[in-house]
Amino acid sequence: MLLLRFFKFTYLFLIVCVIQCTTTGSSPIESVILNFNKNKKSYKIGVIDFIHSEKQTNKYDSMISDLFIVELSKDSSNILVERTKLAELLTEHSLEYSGLLDSDQARKLGKIIPIDLILTGSYSIQKIQTQEEIKISGRFIHVVTGEIVYAFNTTITQENQDSITNQNSSQQTTPGKNVLAT
C-alpha cells in the first residue's frame, strides 16, 4: 500500500514536471543537465539516490535521481547505468549505497563498475506556507581521479503538486580547482 502511494506520488510529480517544462520551456533539472552537456564529452554515468541533508529517508530520495536520469537520457552521448544495478553491485562489494557522497567512495565504485562519472548529491526541504522548496546540491564525480567534474545547486518549488518553478546555478570545474557552487 505504501509502495503504491509512493509510485502514485512519483508519477504525479513527474507529470507536473513535464507539464511545467512544456509551459516554461525548461525545468530546473533540465537546465542543470543542459549546462553539464555543454562540455561535449561522452560519459558513462551512474546516478544514485540523492540523500536528505538530515539523513532521513524521504519520498524525494529516488524521485530526484529519476528526474536527473530522464534528463541525462535525452542526450544520446551519455550512457547511463541503472540505479538498481548500482545498488546490487554496491551491496555485493560491501560498499554503502548512501555513502557515495565523497570522491574516495566514487573511486572504489569506479574499480567495480566500468563507469566514468557518478552523479550524487543531497537536498533539503524548506516548507513555506503551502509550498515546499526542495534545494538540491549535486556533483558529477570522476570515478578514476575523484575530481568533481561539475557541481550545481538548484531549487524546485512545489506548490500543492500543481506547479514547479526553479532557480539554479552551476559551475564547471577544471582539474585541480576547488568547487564553489552558489
Q: Are strands 117-128 and 44-47 parallel, antiparallel or unpaired?
A: parallel
* Closest by Cα among 56, 25, 47 to 138: 47
pLDDT digits (tens, 9 = 90+) for 71-93: 888 887 888 987 777 778 777 77
Q: Which residue has the cell 506547479?
A: 163
Task: Give the integer Cα–Cα distance in Å for 74 and 71.
Answer: 5
Q: Let me know: does 118 contact 99? Beta carbons within 8 Å.
A: no
CATH topology of domain 2-171: Rossmann fold (3.40.50)
pLDDT band, very low/low/confident/very high, at 168 (cuts 50, 70, 90): low
Per domain, the residue ranges of the chain are: 2-171
pLDDT digits (tens, 9 = 90+) for 40-62: 788 899 888 888 888 766 677 78
DSSP string for residues in 134-176: EEEEEEEEETTT--EEEEEEEEEEEETTTEEEEEEEEEE--TT
Task: Give the integer Cα–Cα distance in Å for 13 and 129.
Answer: 19
Cα dist from 71 to 20, 35, 84, 128, 177, whole Å: 14, 12, 18, 27, 27
What is the model's pLDDT at position 78?
A: 84
Q: Is residue 36 over pLDDT 80?
A: yes
- State pTM to two decimals: 0.67
pLDDT digits (tens, 9 = 90+) for 89-135: 777 776 665 555 567 777 777 777 888 998 989 999 888 888 889 99
Q: Is the dihedral of CA 107, 109, 112, 113 positive or negative?
A: negative
